[in-house]
């Protein structure tokens, strides 16, 4: 079995939310199983600017994710 990379996994929520919100969320959530209710609760504590920022980050991550999915799906073998 080959190693793809040696980096630690990053919780996607840590990339989206400000630290003050992420820390409180991570106490409630398992980092790899986001739950809509807890996410909505955390979003309610964000400023309008923070909401716009994480929405932009989420859209950017989605764009990159789709590109990776398409690239991997296009590889035969």
- Cα 73 to Cα 77: distance, rounded to the nearest angstrom: 10
Contact call for residues 42 and 25 (beta carbons, < 8 A): yes
| pLDDT, position 1 | 47
- Cα 54 to Cα 70: distance, rounded to the nearest angstrom: 24
| pLDDT, position 4 | 46
pLDDT digits (tens, 9 = 90+) for 2-22: 444 455 678 888 888 888 888
How far the first Cα of the chain sits from its last, in Å, is 17
Predicted confidence (pLDDT) at residue 62 exceeds the cutoff of 90 = yes
| pLDDT, position 33 | 65
The reply to whether the predicted model has a pTM over 0.75 is no
Predicted confidence (pLDDT) at residue 54 exceeds the cutoff of 50 = yes
Predicted confidence (pLDDT) at residue 41 exceeds the cutoff of 50 = yes
């Amino acid at each position: 079995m080959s190693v793809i990379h040696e980096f630690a996994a990053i919780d996607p929520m840590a990339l989206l939310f400000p630290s003050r919100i992420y820390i409180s969320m991570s106490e409630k959530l398992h980092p790899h199983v986001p739950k809509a209710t807890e996410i909505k609760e955390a979003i309610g504590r964000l400023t309008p600017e923070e909401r716009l920022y994480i929405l932009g980050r989420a859209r950017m991550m989605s764009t990159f994710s789709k590109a990776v999915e398409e690239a991997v799906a296009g590889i035969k073998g």
